Structure formats: structure tokens, C-alpha cells
Structure 1
Amino acid sequence: MNIHIKNQQEINKMRISGYLAGEVLRKIEPYVIPGTTTEKLNQICHNYIIQKKAIPGCLGYLGFPSSICISVNEIACHGIPNKNKKLNNGDIVNIDVTVIKNQYYADTAKMFIVGKTHKIAYELCQVAKKSLYRTFPVIRPGLPISIIGQTIQNYVNTTPFSIVKEYCGHGIGTTFHEQPYILHYNYHENKVFFKPGMIFTIEPIINAGNKEVFCMDDNWTICTKDYSLSAQYEHTVLVTENGCEILTKRKNEKIQKIYFNKKK
């Protein structure tokens, strides 16, 4: 497996990209309200990225037509912004942002709740977030990357929800998708181990119903097969000498930026 270990200069550049990607999600929050169209959200994010002299990483990637992905309610991922799609009170919305700054990518996503929503939707978003956050304390050099999927699976198994298996995290750098690929479920394989300088995304998709999804006619939008709600959180993560650093951590996000994960 050809995994590119980043040097200090590359890491510093990806810290800049990561900070900017997080800022896009922070800046868009006041606009995620009833009546706003998903295309308007896309345009606001696009303008902010360009203003910061960066490039929207999704725009044109394999033909994707928009600058960000916006996935509402039963859309699991890769939702295409639309001028006719207005947000409604109670919707849950995933906004997935990828930026390129100084030729380096960073990728992050979070859920937004529009107005007030029902209990199951709120709980689903919380479980998706916690399933991501629980992985950070188990990342350190020498451990197998499969511990990420094991950690997510063990947690989600305690809830009524399910994990989408078709989509995974990935290495990231001067290209959008690199090795290693990060599965979000327990697959009992210990062939690839964390090394300092590895950078990858973790981005579990959690469904309120069953785990099956399908691709809609636009060849991009992924929807839950039973039309149940879906939620996803994502961060770009650097493996350090003794833990990990969350490159896309947002200001005021209630997690550590740097984790020191001691051997037990």
C-alpha cells in the first residue's frame, strides 16, 4: 500500500487548509435557517473560499457540479445544492466542505439542525458526532488503522442506528483521495498501522433506519434505501508522534485539537 507520509512543510500547509475548511463550516451556520435554499448556502461557501484565495475542492471533481455537498434528511452524502430546495423547520442538514489551499486539500463536514427537530433526528446527529469523536483518543503510532472502525462499530452497536459501509475515509494531501482508506466498521484486519505524518479523513455516515443506501438518478446523490434520516460528521486528522491532531477543528468546537494518547 502506497501511503504518503507528510513532512513538516506539508503538514504546515495542511494545517492552513484544515483551518480554512473549518472556518467555512463556522461561517455558514447563521444561514442554515428555514427558507434558505441549498444553492444559496453553496454560493455563500463558494464566495468565502474564493475570498480566502483558495479553491473549492468539490467543484468539478469527477464532474461534481457544485462547490460543496449539502445532504438533507434522508440524503446520506453527496447531495447537490439546488435553487429549488428550501430548508424547512426540523430538517437535519449535512454540509461537506473540501478546500484546496497552496495545492493541499482539507475535508470536513458537520450536521446542522434547522430550527427545532424531533428527538430521533437530534439523537441521530449526536450519535454520528460521537462516533467520530470517539476515534481520536485511540489513534497513535503502532496501532492498526482498523481500530477506527472497531471503535465506531462498538459505539454505534449500543444505539438503535446503523453504519453505512459503502463509503469510507481516505488519505488526503495534494490529491483529494489517497491511501489509506478508513473503514467505519469492524473488519478484523491489522495490516496497516498508524505512522507519524499520516493524514486522513474519518467520516462515518450513520442511518436512523437500516444501513442500505442507493444512488439517485443524478449519479451523485446517495439516499437511504428506506428513506430514513442519515447523519455524518467528518474531520481531517494528522497522526503525531504520540497521538493525533485534528486539522479541521473549528473554533468553539468542544473537542481537543491535539490528543496525547499514551500506551496502556
Structure 2
Amino acid sequence: MDKLDVKLWKLAARGQIVPKRSLLKTPRQIEAIKKSAALNTAVLDHVASHIHEGMCTEEIDRLVYDFTTEHGGIPAPLNYDGFPKSVCTSLNNVICHGIPSEYEILQDGDILNVDVSTILDGYYSDASRMFTIGNISPEAERLVRVTQECVELGLKAAKPWGHLGDIAYAINTHAKKHGYSVVEDIGGHGIGLDFHEEPFVSYVTPKGSEMVLVPGMMFTIEPMVNEGSPDFFVDEDDDWTVYTIDDGLSAQVEYMVLVTDSGIEVLSK
């Protein structure tokens, strides 16, 4: 056993949840994944520079596909478990996994999550942003702003050798403080060597709980914050689109992060 194995063994013996060594990325893997993450961020920047009122979400899908493939990447969502598009576009009361459509036109007052995931040379990256269209309501502006604050506070709470629950507690506390709820049954995930790896990242668990944050871990911080109930339903026709149960607005911001010896590094956002 090396020093890290011994430390992980001691933590596990004390009842802590520790990651498998396979979840800890090597320096060579980290270097390659960072290239994928840089392209992922560039795709989001490309969307940001072109998104506008009156365009359909299908146009966003084309922007993502064309930019990604022109730069040597593959959109990770395309054909993933049958998902038909290159990006998720989740509008207003859609929590996540919205499917781009030529019939879905961005209108004044809309809020939209664009969730981009990229494969480059076999390595995966993932991040999402909220976009506001035209003049949004004060209620929508507040939800989007607080969701961004939740992610930043979750990031600040993340420390090497801390716990995933520290991130969750910071996020859930801030959301509840403003009268919002955090979706419980959909969360973040490990990433890098595959699209979705362990661990599942909850945003409603207590401080000091869940997996220990060990240097080399890579995962997403992506809470879904709802105006009203945290409950949802999945569209029966497409089996993907997740809607709020009460038709309230939902917002999501996603960062992809790496745990290092000295802190948390954001790889894509």
C-alpha cells in the first residue's frame, strides 16, 4: 500500500465513504480531460455569443454540433441512451434533459438552461449555463441569480478531504433561505473517463456526510433549483424531458470540478 491507500483504508475503517482508486484521475488523464473541458467551455461561449430571442432551440443544437465537431470533438449527449440531439435545452418549467426542437422558439421573458457535454479523444466533460431572454420577470431573475449563488457557495464549501455533503449543505441551505427547493432525485455525477461515473452527487444531504473529497476526484456541481415543489415528472412521449410537478420555474447551473491537493479547480463552466 502507498500512503494514499493507507489513508483511504483508515478513513474507511472509521466508517467514511471513500472513492475507489479507479475514480482518482492520474496526471496524464487529468491533462487529457482538461483539453476536453476547454472545448466544452468554448462550446458554451459559442452558444452565448449567438443565442437570441426568436431563435429555436434546434438552432442551438446545430451550433453545438457544428462547433464541437469542427474542433475535433463529439457531442456526448448525441445518441446517448437514445437521446436524439447534441445538447439539452431546458426552458422555463423544464428541470433538465429538454430536447431541442424547431418548434420551440425563444421568447422575451424566457429562462433557458443549455447543458453541453463533450467527448474529445475519448475523454468527457460537462457543464451548463442559464441564459435569460429579453426582459425577464423579477421572479425569474431572482431564481437564476440564487441558483448561480448556490453553485458558488457549494464550490466554496468543497475542500480536499472534506465531504460531498458539505457542498450539498451549502447549496440546500442557500436555496431554502430564499424559499426555493432543490431537486432530490436528480443530481451531479463523476465524469472524465465516462459520461456518468460514480459518485452520485446529491444536493440535499447533511454537512459531513457522503463521500470524502480525495485529490484526483472529478465530478459536477449542478443543483436544480425549483420555484416551488422539488417534485417532477418525465414526459411520457419522449421519455427524457423532466418538468416541474407544479409548472413552476426551474434553474440549473453546472460546473465540472477537480479535487486537488490544495483546493478545487473548476474545469468547465
TM-score, normalised to structure 2, is 0.90
The residue aligned with 1:172 is: 191
CA positional deviation for 1:181: 1.3
Any idea what SS the aligned residue of 2:38 has? helix
1:76 counterpart = 2:111: no
Q: Measure the CA separation in 2 of the matches of 1:109 and 1:190.
A: 26
Q: Measure the CA separation in 2 of the matches of 1:148 and 1:189.
A: 9
The residue aligned with 2:75 is: 56
The residue aligned with 2:254 is: 234
The amino acid of 1:242's aligned partner reads S
**Which ranges in structure 2 are unaligned for 5 or more consecutive residues?**
1-18
Q: How does 1:22-171 map to 2 (within 5 A)?
A: 22-171=41-190
CA positional deviation for 1:187: 4.1
The amino acid of 1:224's aligned partner reads T
Mark the CA change 1:238 to 1:220 in structure 2 (over 3 Å): closer, same or farther: same
Aligned 8 A contact 1:72 1:94 in 2: yes
Q: Measure the CA separation in 1 of the matches of 2:220 and 2:155.
A: 11
Aligned 8 A contact 1:214 1:222 in 2: yes
Q: Measure the CA separation in 2 of the matches of 1:38 and 1:191.
A: 37
Q: Measure the CA separation in 1 of the matches of 2:115 and 2:71.
A: 18
**Which ranges in structure 1 are unaligned for 5 or more consecutive residues?**
250-264
Among all aligned residue pairs of Structure 1 and Structure 2, give the percentage whose two residues are the same amino acid. Answer: 34
Aligned 8 A contact 2:166 2:206 in 1: no
The amino acid of 1:221's aligned partner reads T
- Runs of 4+ aligned residues of structure 1 deviating over 4 Å after TM superposition are none
Bigger drift between 47-56 and 171-180 goes to 171-180
CA positional deviation for 1:31: 2.6
Q: Measure the CA separation in 2 of the matches of 1:106 and 1:246.
A: 11
Deviations 1:96-143 (A, max 9, x none): 000001111000001000111000001100111111111122222211
Any idea what SS the aligned residue of 2:63 has? helix
The residue aligned with 1:13 is: 32
Q: Over the residues paired in the alignment, what is the CA RMSD in angstroms?
A: 1.2
Larger Rg: 2
The residue aligned with 2:7 is: none
Bigger drift between 224-233 and 148-157 goes to 148-157
Bigger drift between 1-10 and 177-186 goes to 1-10
Bigger drift between 23-32 and 230-239 goes to 23-32
Aligned 8 A contact 1:140 1:241 in 2: no
Q: Measure the CA separation in 2 of the matches of 1:15 and 1:62.
A: 25
Aligned 8 A contact 1:137 1:243 in 2: no
Q: Measure the CA separation in 2 of the matches of 1:88 and 1:74.
A: 14
Aligned 8 A contact 1:161 1:206 in 2: yes
